[in-house]
Amino acid sequence: MALQITENCSNCDACRPACPNEAIAVAEPVYTIDPLRCTECVGAEDEPQCRLVCPSDCIEDHPDFRETRDELLVKYTQLHA
């Protein structure tokens, strides 16, 4: 499943460089995560790096993009082919 950033985002920019898929973009009023690029770091890391570095704890599961670990791995492989 993809992740999303809530309105509690402080725009600190900690998450953007941590994303191995370049899925996070600067936006107003809060940063955004492209669900078509987000793999929750499956294929690159053991857990979502954006969540690890976010000081606002504002990154949550995106309810509209539910994917299995295998589906996320396929997406990661396609993004980095």
- What is the tens place of the pLDDT at every residue in 36-65? 999 999 999 999 999 999 999 999 999 999
pTM of the model: 0.92
User: How is the chain split into domains, by residue range?
Assistant: 3-79
**Contact by Cβ (8 Å): 3, 60:** yes
Mean pLDDT of 22-43: 97
What percentage of the chain exceeds 70 in pLDDT?
100
Range 3-79 classified under CATH 3.90.180.10: no
